[in-house]
Copies of this chain bind each other. A is one copy, B any other.
């Protein structure tokens, strides 16, 4: 894409009320627009990152047998009353609104009820199980404090998968598969090394649930980390007994600030009971379906990536989620430079390499460099008068800052 056609521009300052580093940088670089505290619109660059993250998650969900659908945002009060979660004393962060011809509806703040209700229509026999439906959708939470940028929104985009199994044994097999799928996801988006499987409080049906916590000072959680075994314990359940039951040693654990980028949870029959979600086994006996839930907030994940990799100059995207792999910078107002840059742009496009081409005229070199560092594409290719007289191009690695001179003809082989 040519930068002259991208309507967003970089800004020197983020709005004063924006205190989170992730949102400050994303606003300054033109990835998102702040509509109000905890509510952001995604500008073209931001949407590209979100879609890359979405594709990575979708692929892993499909591999473990997930099947995508899309539940509505408007939620039927009667359905939520079955689990008693319509009650404001049970769930205190609903957004509710009124139908014009009477009656209240909610904006989906999670999906267990919607899924249990729909699946009740389709599950009868053991032959219908297991199934693993999921969706990507906007979720709404009426937070009073929204100070973490896109890491904790009043409106946010997430993936939620629910597993419906015949019994706990079948459930456990899938639960272990999702652990691997989640690790693959965090690996692929570039934060695998920083992300720890973390034991957190379970519910009625399980001693623990599992969170995936990524080290960052911007996180709201505190975890105790065993770096050797690559597991951690959330502070909320951290005590001698838990440490011992996991075979860990207290003096080997390190306290870290972290953010929960995903969680997986054994629900058991918590929802299948109120929804009377049963199946007949092969002897004709009725049993409750055994459920699990598996969430990832895409905005939070994107915000986390910004927090952990950004430097003083701006954002640094891992290749897999970057809106463009290469930022091609045309430096100077020379006709030869422009021609050369156009040739390289075309070459990269022909090689199916995603490239943002800074073709803006009358912008100082320093400003183009600063903008490119702020925007954070993993590689910059710099075409300047000085370079082309030698038949060379500068290739800069945004993360390491390393610059190497490459041959003009090398571009097509660079990223294969």
Contacts and interface: CB of A to CB of B under 8 A. Distances in A.
B155 A7 contact: no
B76 A36 contact: yes
A105 B107 CA distance: 13
A118 B69 contact: no
B35 A72 contact: yes
A163 interface: no
In the complex, the count of this chain's copies comes to 2
Contacts of A50: 70
Interface residues of A, number: 55
Given A7-B128, A138-B138, A107 B97 contact: yes
A114 interface: yes
Contact of A140 (B71, B74, B101): B74
Contacts of A74: 35-36, 39, 140, 154-155
A353 interface: no
Interface in A26-68: 30, 33, 35-36, 39-44, 46-47, 50, 65, 67-68
A99 B144 CA distance: 8
Contacts of A39: 72, 74, 76, 105
Contact of A131 (B7, B99, B144): B7
Nearest to A8: B122
A76 B39 CA distance: 9
A67 B6 contact: yes
Interface string A131-170: 1010000101011100000000011000000000000000
A41, A46, A121, A133 — which one has the most chain B CB atoms within 10 A of its CB?
A41
A123 interface: yes
B142 A35 contact: no
A50 B95 CA distance: 27
A73 interface: yes
B47 A69 contact: yes
Given A7-B122, A119-B7, A97 B97 contact: yes
Interface string A384-409: 00000000000000000000000000
Nearest to A127: B4
Contact of A47 (B41, B43, B68, B96): B68
A114 to B, nearest CB: 7
A36 B105 CA distance: 10
A96 B105 CA distance: 11
A5 interface: yes
A107 B138 CA distance: 12
Contacts of A36: 74, 76, 105
